[in-house]
């Protein structure tokens, strides 16, 4: 696709006719259409999976048509997939997206549908939403504000569209309006805020409101983070109220490209009132949310608002006009329902369980892995990862049923004759406990108890002989014995590393995905053995701090997710102090003795990494938050954190891909960039020590 010339389509497209712009500024008394049925669909798309994406789009359109939806909003970049990364710069990506758009257009007859795709114009790439009306392209509103913070890198690929600018896109001899546009379809005016456009202070919706727009569509690719859904509901509700419009928000769903999980959760609000809320964390290919809205009501709401001053000198090229006949609808009332789990006191625990379960399901499905392998230690991390696989099976079966669940995982041979959650987990999950001479009966019993309770296949592998052979081999080469008083870290690490080949072998034999069990607190200070406990193709809990993970496991033991059950077998895990169990039992090794209390570690991490505070600022903060510790002890732990964080950036660069679960991630490839080599805060830590010697 190009801004000047045709591209030589490989098939004859369905030609779209450029709307008559000469009528754009006409005014008069429109035909009164009081009631419209609008819809928003959450789609589980995959970057560059053209046929699968097209099928999901067409399925959503078909379902919307069956529900008599007239206007349907689909997610941002739904044709190509949002996470195409540098493939957005490929000519082939743009051309194929255009071809898919042509294939979809005939199915929009009798409807108005928003479809997202990249568009090249004057050698700049833009994030656009194509508005199709009755089988024809009306135009391409372009995103004005790009997401360029955190996990988003949109400015790497796209340019922001300038406010008030308009252009004509030339493709295969046809012209299409492009830019800062709104539409008049059958006397119903439609405008756009594309994802980030709604998150900024000067939202485009304010200008659209002054143009007399009736509906604002927001096609989004808004990643999941704890509590973020409540923020979305607020900006949708406030947009509908302040702009005096109906606001229709759609979002992606599932694990689209590997790291990011999308929770869906379409929202429809009108005149400041909630009309409909879509479900979140669905295992389906799409979720359609619909609502009946009263256009006359929102128009009169604007009319009676004293501060509303419409812009009467509108530029004719801003508004694209097209005829459209809306069906007559009868009045309809429906209560807005929220699932019970979103109304309870443990929303974060529920979100964590459901987000990671869906992320695991899609990762396995899209990578065509035939299950998972976990090196289970009897500790909190591996128990959590194992339970999350179990939740994947339970949530998926509850929503889809055994047949649809197995059908979506049709490549997994072991699922052919399975039934309930225990059978499914046994087919998909292998847990291996790998003991050394420092392993205890306590952790063995805890590991076995969790694996058996969730239905996983449990293997006990004794790797003590392998550890001894490696130590003997190294001692022979060095010409001296290895001992705990001189080689502590090396003797710990070899035990963890010896466990890696065995579980990799099991994963290969089972055609499964090896799950790493490291958490974010360990990543922050490098308390992990590379090629040992970090082994894996996916690290599902690397975005979660250890203090919260232990809290979640206690909740799982005592309550469990709404609609499911508790996991009492976790009691044996929760009763233990976290330990790597790599030193001899007589040394009574614990994680917190090696590092610092996890609660403090996580507080220091948030202050240092999220809030970018200096060591002295952190000390002042920790004195208030943790008055039970002496200043001397706090200084020691803060200094330890900074030294370990800087020293272990190379480990974070090598971690397996992790799920993004909150906006405090340490993943350098998606959130927190830090140099591998640095000055290590030496000057700042010297100032901290000097400051700590001053009298309080």
Handedness of CA 632, 637, 642, 648 (dihedral sign): positive
- Is 391 inside a domain boundary? yes
- Is 2 inside a domain boundary? no
Whole-number pLDDT of residue 418? 67
Which pLDDT band holds residue 7 (cuts at 50, 70, 90)? very low
CATH number for the domain spanning 316: value is 3.60.110.10
Same domain, yes or no: 283 and 406: no
Q: Is 85 helix (H, G, I), strand (E, B) or coil?
A: helix
Q: What is the CA 620 to chain-centroid distance, rounded?
A: 34
3-state secondary structure 91-151: HHHHHHHHHHHHHHHHHHCCCEEEEEEEEEECCEEEEEEEEEECCEEEEEEECCCCCCCCC
> Which DSSP state fits 223?
-
Which pLDDT band holds residue 611 (cuts at 50, 70, 90)? very high
pLDDT of residue 313 exceeding 80: no
Whole-number pLDDT of residue 272? 87
- Looking up tokens 């991630």 gives 665
Residue 63 tokens read as: 């379902």
Beta bridge partners of 454: none
- Is 49 inside a domain boundary? yes
Q: Where is 470: in which H helix or E strand?
A: helix 464-478
Same domain, yes or no: 284 and 344: no
User: Which pTM does this prediction carry?
Assistant: 0.92
Same domain, yes or no: 646 and 539: no
Same domain, yes or no: 240 and 171: yes
- Is 109 inside a domain boundary? yes
Per-residue pLDDT, averaged over 583-612, amounts to 93
How many C-beta atoms surround the C-beta of residue 442 within 10 A? 14
Same domain, yes or no: 155 and 200: yes
Same domain, yes or no: 346 and 313: no
Same domain, yes or no: 75 and 194: yes
pLDDT of residue 506 exceeding 60: yes
Same domain, yes or no: 530 and 614: no
User: 12-21, 55-64, 106-115: lowest mean pLDDT where?
Assistant: 12-21
Q: At which of 524, 542, 576 does a domain end?
A: 576
CATH number for the domain spanning 643: value is 3.40.50.620
Whole-number pLDDT of residue 21? 38
Please report the beta strands in 422-477, taking only residues with DSSP state E, as ranges in sequence order. Answer: 429-435, 457-462
Per-residue pLDDT, averaged over 182-207, amounts to 96
Per-residue pLDDT, averaged over 4-8, amounts to 34
- Is 364 inside a domain boundary? yes
Tell me which of 578 and 144 has the higher pLDDT.
144
Per-residue pLDDT, averaged over 299-308, amounts to 85
Whole-number pLDDT of residue 217? 98
* 511-540 confidence digits (pLDDT tens): 999 999 999 999 999 999 999 989 999 999
Same domain, yes or no: 323 and 343: no
Nearest to 40 by CA among 316, 371, 384, 280: 280
Beta bridge partners of 320: 183
What are the backbone angles phi and psi of residue 49, rounded to the nearest 5°?
Answer: -90, 75
Same domain, yes or no: 171 and 308: yes
Whole-number pLDDT of residue 696? 79
Average pLDDT, the chain: 92
Handedness of CA 330, 113, 189, 293 (dihedral sign): positive
pLDDT of residue 12 exceeding 80: no
* 353-394 confidence digits (pLDDT tens): 999 999 999 999 999 999 999 999 999 999 999 999 999 999
Residue 695 tokens read as: 């009298």
**Greatest extent of the chain over all pairs of C-alpha atoms, in Å:** 96
pLDDT of residue 270 exceeding 80: yes
pLDDT of residue 2 exceeding 80: no
Nearest to 406 by CA among 375, 446, 459, 365: 365
Same domain, yes or no: 119 and 81: yes
Per-residue pLDDT, averaged over 435-441, amounts to 94
The total number of structural domains that make up the chain: 3
- Is 608 inside a domain boundary? yes
- Is 621 inside a domain boundary? yes
Report the DSSP pairing between strands 182-185 and 319-322: parallel
Report the DSSP pairing between strands 174-179 and 136-141: parallel
Per-residue pLDDT, averaged over 337-341, amounts to 90
Its domain, for residue 478, covers 339-576
* 387-411 confidence digits (pLDDT tens): 999 999 999 999 999 999 999 999 9
Per-residue pLDDT, averaged over 236-244, amounts to 96
Which pLDDT band holds residue 10 (cuts at 50, 70, 90)? very low
- Is 5 inside a domain boundary? no
Whole-number pLDDT of residue 32? 52
* 67-93 confidence digits (pLDDT tens): 999 999 999 999 999 999 999 999 999
Whole-number pLDDT of residue 335? 80
Same domain, yes or no: 518 and 461: yes
Which pLDDT band holds residue 332 (cuts at 50, 70, 90)? confident
> Which DSSP state fits 607?
I
């Amino acid at each position: 696709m190009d801004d000047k010339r045709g591209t030589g389509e490989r098939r004859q497209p369905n030609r779209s006719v450029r709307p008559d712009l000469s009528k754009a500024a006409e005014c008069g008394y429109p035909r009164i259409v009081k009631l419209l049925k609008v819809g928003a669909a959450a789609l589980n798309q995959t970057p560059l999976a053209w046929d699968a994406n097209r099928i999901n789009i067409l399925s959503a359109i078909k379902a919307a048509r069956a529900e008599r939806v007239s206007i349907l909003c689909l997610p941002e970049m739904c044709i190509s997939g949002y996470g195409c990364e540098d493939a957005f710069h490929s000519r082939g990506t743009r051309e194929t997206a255009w071809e898919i758009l042509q294939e979809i257009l005939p199915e929009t007859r009798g409807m108005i549908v928003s479809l997202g795709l990249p568009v090249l114009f004057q050698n700049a790439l833009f994030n656009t939403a194509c508005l199709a009306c009755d089988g024809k392209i009306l135009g391409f509103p372009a995103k004005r504000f790009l997401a360029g913070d955190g996990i988003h890198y949109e400015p790497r690929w796209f340019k922001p569209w300038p406010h008030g600018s308009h252009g004509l896109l030339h493709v295969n001899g046809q012209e299409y309006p492009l830019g800062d546009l709104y539409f008049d379809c059958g006397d119903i005016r439609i405008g756009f805020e594309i994802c980030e456009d709604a998150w900024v202070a000067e939202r485009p919706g304010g200008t659209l409101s002054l143009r007399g727009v009736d509906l604002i569509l927001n096609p989004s690719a808004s990643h999941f983070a704890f509590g973020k859904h409540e923020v979305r509901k607020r900006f949708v509700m406030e947009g509908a109220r302040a702009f005096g419009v109906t606001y229709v928000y759609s979002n992606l769903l599932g694990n689209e490209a590997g790291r990011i999980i999308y929770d869906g959760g379409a929202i429809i609000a009108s005149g400041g009132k909630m009309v409909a809320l879509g479900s979140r964390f669905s295992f389906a290919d799409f979720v359609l949310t619909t609502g009946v809205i009263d256009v006359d009501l929102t128009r009169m709401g604007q009319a009676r608002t004293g501060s509303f001053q419409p812009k009467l000198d509108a530029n004719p090229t801003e508004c694209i006009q097209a005829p459209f006949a809306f069906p007559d609808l009868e009045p309809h009332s429906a209560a807005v329902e929220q699932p019970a789990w979103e109304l309870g006191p443990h929303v974060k625990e529920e979100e964590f369980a459901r987000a990671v379960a869906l992320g695991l399901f899609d990762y396995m499905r899209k990578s065509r892995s035939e299950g998972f392998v976990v090196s289970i230690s009897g500790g909190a991390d591996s128990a959590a990862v194992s339970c999350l696989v179990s939740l994947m099976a339970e949530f998926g079966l509850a929503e889809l049923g055994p047949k649809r669940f197995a059908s979506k995982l049709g490549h997994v041979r072991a699922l052919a004759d399975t039934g309930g959650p225990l059978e499914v987990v046994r087919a998909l999950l292998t847990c291996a406990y790998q003991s050394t001479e420092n392993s205890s009966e306590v952790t063995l019993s805890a590991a076995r108890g969790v694996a058996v309770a969730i239905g996983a296949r449990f293997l006990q592998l004794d790797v003590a002989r392998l550890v001894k052979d490696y130590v003997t081999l190294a001692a022979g080469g060095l010409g001296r014995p290895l001992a705990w008083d001189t080689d502590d870290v090396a003797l710990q690490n070899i035990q963890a590393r010896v466990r890696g080949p065995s579980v990799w072998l099991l994963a290969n034999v089972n055609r499964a995905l090896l799950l790493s069990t490291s958490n974010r607190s360990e990543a922050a200070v490098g308390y992990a053995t590379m090629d040992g406990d970090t082994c894996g193709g996916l690290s599902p809990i690397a975005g979660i701090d250890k203090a919260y993970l232990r809290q979640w496991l206690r909740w799982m033991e005592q309550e469990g997710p709404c609609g499911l059950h508790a996991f009492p077998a976790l009691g044996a895990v929760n009763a233990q102090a976290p330990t790597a169990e790599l030193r001899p039992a007589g040394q009574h090794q614990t994680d917190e003795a090696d590092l610092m209390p996890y609660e403090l570690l996580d507080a220091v991490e948030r202050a240092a990494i999220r809030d970018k505070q200096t060591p002295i600022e952190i000390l002042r903060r920790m004195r208030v938050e943790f008055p039970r510790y002496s200043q001397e002890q706090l200084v020691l732990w803060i200094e330890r954190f900074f030294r370990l964080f800087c020293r272990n950036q190379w480990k974070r660069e090598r971690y397996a891909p992790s799920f993004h679960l909150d906006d405090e991630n340490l993943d350098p490839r998606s959130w927190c960039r830090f140099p591998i080599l640095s000055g290590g805060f030496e000057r700042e830590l010297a100032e901290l020590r000097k400051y700590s010697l001053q009298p309080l």
